[in-house]
Structure 1
Amino acid sequence: MRKPQGAAARSACAAIAALAVAAAALPGDACAAADLATLPRDLSPWGMFVNADAVVKTVMVGLAAASLAAWTVWLAKSVELRRCVVLARAGLDRLESDTTLQQAAADTADQRDAVAQMIHTVEREASLSGGAHDDGFRERVALRLERVEAAEARRAAVGTGLLASIGAVAPFVGLFGTVWGIMNAFIGISKANTTNLAVVAPGIAEALLATALGLVAAIPAVVIYNHLTRRVSAYRALLGDASAQLLLMISREAARPPQRARAVR
């Protein structure tokens, strides 16, 4: 009978030891299970957005809207500048041909592009000046052409300021989302009373996603801004050539009457 009693005693001791080990391990396992239960299952970009804090989510939505606005400005301004450049080159070719101011004004009577406006403003100044082609007339024409050129350049550059603002502000907005997400991650560590990396991983991931969206919005905006700025400068150079051609046309017309008078003599 002693052997069965000894075996039972040893079994009881082993069971007590197993219960002690299980009891010692229970709080940590329960805490880890609770942490895993509260963690989001989906750590894809969309899952991180859905489970993000309200502030971080607002930052992400704002950055996505800024990126969409930048690409919309690029598309709209590219189409507009292409059309303006085509019309300006056509008008410049017309001015470079052997034509007069009256004929050029008649050809562009129903047009409203930049070169047509320059031709119309020169014709109006000629009619107001009574046909006099002196130095004062040329100065007034140059002033009018300069104003039309500047106004058209400003109109062509509308919208590029938004790109500059997005390129300058978007990284800092993304950084704000990063700081907020990391702050929430540390608050989660404090509340969970654990240093398990799984607790802080979602918050850090959300913070990094906000930073990435800030760069996604800022980098294309800067590149598009530089590209459109170069195209606006090229368009203004075409308008400058048209202005020079109009001044040359006025100078030729001012020189023609004396030549005709000498030819009659």
Structure 2
Amino acid sequence: MSKDLMSKEITYIIWRVGLVGNKQCQVGWQKSEGLLDTCTDGKSLHGISESWSYLHIPNFSERDVGIYMYEMPFAGGIHTCNVSVSITVPPSISSWLELRDNNSMVAVCAAEGGKPAADVTWRHAENESAVVTQWRSGGLFSVESRLKLPEGPTNATCVIKHPYWEAEKTLVPRHRKGLLDTVVCLLIVVSILMVLTALLFFIYKKLIMLRNYLITDRSAAKPEPVIHKPEIEGVEEVEPYASYVQRVNSIYNS
């Protein structure tokens, strides 16, 4: 315990905490009772002295948002103050163009994951109304504004305001680079496949032509087969002759 706390001039140091949801608790020190903690969520009093002290809030989150009232008496008076504690998270901003099926162009501006919600408007978009959508996720807010652009050139600019920034942010919607890169890559891949297919088909046709040429060439170069008749030694080839059989009549010869 700090020796300053033992000073007779200080009777107590206390933080009265009013959290979201009407939860009330106290963290501090009292001369008669010592340390005081009814919050029981890790908050603690640090750096205690006659001139200053601070309340430590570990793992600050949305549940710690609220009004913190500080009170400390000293010689000749009492010091009090009220502190409004909130969470301010800058959003992630982006803007792009979308082409619809009817060839109309829509400009989109988004501020995502901020707290509080960002203010999204359009500049230089006369007579054009935007459709604004807002949603909340995990305690953070996202805002998206869609503006239908007229035909022809336009200079619409998205303007985003948020308490985290001292000045407003301006974005000019462009065609999404990632989408264009994907389309270009697909076109390149398709072109390469078409070239390879044509090359393979050309090689296949050449191989077929070469095969047919080799078959034809072999057929023309092949000699006609010669049939040899066997020859028998000592036997001359003779002309066929007629033969007859003579009948002998035994009556006349007797």
Whether TM-score is above 0.5 comes out as: no
From the two aligned structures, give the one with the greater helix fraction. 1
Whichever of the two has the greater Rg, that structure is 2
Greater length-normalized contact order (CA 8 Å, ≥ 6 residues apart): 1
Q: What is the TM-score when the length of structure 2 is the normalising length?
A: 0.25
Q: What is the TM-score when the length of structure 1 is the normalising length?
A: 0.24
From the two aligned structures, give the one with the greater strand fraction. 2
